[in-house]
Amino acid sequence: MKDRIQNFAKGAAIVAAVALFLLCAVVSAVFAPHIAHAEELSVEGRSAFLVDAATGTVLYSDNENERLPIASMVKIMTVLLTLEAVDRGELSLDEKIAVSERAASMGGSQIFLDAGTEHRAGDLIKSVIVASANDSCVALAERVSGSVEGFVADMNARAKELGMADTNFVNCTGLPAAEGFSTARDVSVMFREVLKHPVYFTDAGVWLEDYVHPDGRKTTMTNTNKLVRFYNGCDGGKTGFTSEAKFCLAATAERDGLRTVAVVIGADSSKGRFNAVSALFNYAFGNFKSEKLLGAGELAEERVRVSGGKTRSVGVTVAEDVTALSKRTEKSGAELRFELEDKVKAPVKKGDVVGKGYVVRDGVAEREFDLIAAEDVGRASIWDLIKRIGSPRN
């Protein structure tokens, strides 16, 4: 009888595992929004792309994979690599960075850094985000990777990691150069990565601010992205212009929990690019909504057992909000399903992956994400184990 029970339990476990495997194997965009195209939505430019920032769901596409020069939108990757260096502890926002002759000699948009002066890294980053400062880009690149050439190699390596197959960087500024190109789709990918850094939004919302140099001299910075002032919900973006690339813009806006990313390349005028991105935002907010299923840091109902820990279980959460996109006129019908480890061994560090979660709609998993430990759990001491004898489980 005991053997039968054990065999039944094993069989049930196998069935559950197979069912979960099949669920995971069909992870796909089961939610199928109506993707607007050029003939339905008039958007100026050679290429345009609109996505839901959280899920990457495509809401509009027009020539989004054509390789084109993107001018100063190259600086999105420059900012991304710099912020990632900060995250890794390799650079502090308060660190003073020395300005080289090469950095000080950059033309185009700049804040007129003097060679030999030192500037706070956070201030240089802000000048790139707000004023598209080429001199600051070079100073940051030399600090992060040792040289501009090394930084450009790192830019291309990161682009490859992100799946940006139609992008090639040749400098960190976007100044005209042969063989430099990207696509509207690829720009949206790297821009969505930048948006994961809260410090970006602190700088991106600045409209007008003086950059104060070490000698007290001031350079007035005006945000090149006019939509942060004139479009409700827009709180970030990066412009670009050269005679070859024409007028470009990647921007983000958020309303009622729905954050979108819009990219336009090759508009005929500055006004045209802002109108084009505004039209894309209007389409997104007018037709779609976002439902938060589990917030970043919010505890799920489930817990994971801990072997040999000071506590018998650990709370479960997510690093980023888990959302579901749906048409504004319909119920989302999305729900969460979890696949948790049966047991983890102490010590457990906050942020350790303890399982997988899935956004499921109509019985099909359309997204998966990591479930992480919500707190640290240290190893239990002998005294902890003695005290636990006879105590209720937690």
Which residues are known catalytic residues? Answer: 72, 75, 132
Q: Which residues 6+ apart lie within 8 Å of 228 measured at CB?
A: 204, 205, 207, 234, 235, 236, 237
C-alpha to C-alpha distance for 324 and 344, rounded to whole angstroms:
29
Cβ atoms of 302 and 337 within 8 Å: the answer is no
Q: Which residues 6+ apart lie within 8 Å of 78 measured at CB?
A: 128, 137, 140, 141, 151, 155, 172, 173
Beta bridge partners of 123: none
Q: DSSP label at 381?
A: P
C-alpha to C-alpha distance for 297 and 295, rounded to whole angstroms:
6
C-alpha to C-alpha distance for 158 and 171, rounded to whole angstroms:
14
C-alpha to C-alpha distance for 157 and 138, rounded to whole angstroms:
18
For 117, half-sphere exposure in the C-beta direction (CA atoms, 13 angstrom radius) is 19
Strand 313-317 relative to strand 96-98, pairing: unpaired
